[in-house]
Structure 1
Amino acid sequence: MAFHEVRFPVALSYGSAGGPERRTEIVALANGFEERNTPWAHSRRRYDAGGGLRSLDDVARLVAFFEARRGQLHGFRWKDWADHKSCGCGAVPGAGDQAIGTGDGTERRFRLVKRYGDGASDYLRPVTKPVAGSVRVAVAGVPQAEGADFTADPATGFVTFVRAPVAGAAITAGFEFDVPVRFDTDRLSVSVATFMAGEIPDVPVVEVRV
Structure 2
Amino acid sequence: MSFHDVVFPSRLAFGATGGPERRVEIVRLASGLEQRNARWSRSRRRYTISTGIKSFADLHNLLEFFEERGGPLNAFRFLDPVDHGSVPPGEAIAPTDRAIGAGDSETVEYRLSLGGGRLVTKPIEGTVRVAVDGVELPGAEYTVDPLTGVVTLQTAPVAEAVVTAGFEFHVPVRFDNAHLALTQTAFAAGEIPEIQLVEVFE
TM-score computed with the length of structure 2 as normaliser: 0.93
**In structure 2, what residue type is equivalent to 1:101?**
G
Deviation at 1:56, TM superposition (A): 3.1
Distance in 1, Cα, partners of 2:186 & 2:163: 53
Number of the residue aligned with 2:127: 134
Q: Does 1:189 align with 2:181?
A: yes
Rounded to whole Å, the distance in 2 between the matches of 1:13 and 1:87 is 22
Matches within 5 A, 1:54-65: 54-65=54-65
8 Å CA contact 1:14–1:52 kept in 2: the answer is no
Among 154, 157, 163, the residue aligned to 1:162:
154
Match of 1:108 in 2: 108
| 1:9 counterpart = 2:9 | yes
Q: Is the 8 A contact 1:103 1:164 kept in 2?
A: yes
Residue 177 (1) aligns with residue 157 (2): no
SS at match of 1:4: strand
Greater strand share, structure number = 2
Partner of 1:34: 34
Find the aligned partners of 1:199 and 1:179 in 2 and give their Cα distance: 25
**1:83-130: CA deviation from partner (whole Å, max 9, x where unpaired):** 001011011211011111111111111110113xxxxxxx24111110
> Residues 113 and 127 of structure 1 are in contact (CA less than 8 Å); yes or no, is this contact kept in structure 2?
yes
SS of residue paired to 1:114: coil
Where 1:75 maps in the other structure, the secondary structure is strand
Asked if structure 2 preserves the Cα contact closer than 8 Å seen for 1:96 and 1:173, the reply is yes
- 1:125 corresponds to 2:121: no
Taking every aligned residue pair, what percent have the same amino acid on both sides? Answer: 50
Q: Which structure 2 residue ranges, 5 or more long, are not aligned?
A: none
What is the rounded CA distance, in whole Å, between the counterparts of 2:80 and 2:134 in structure 1? 29
Cα 1:36–1:179 change in 2 (3 A) is same
Q: Counterpart in 2 of 1:120?
A: none
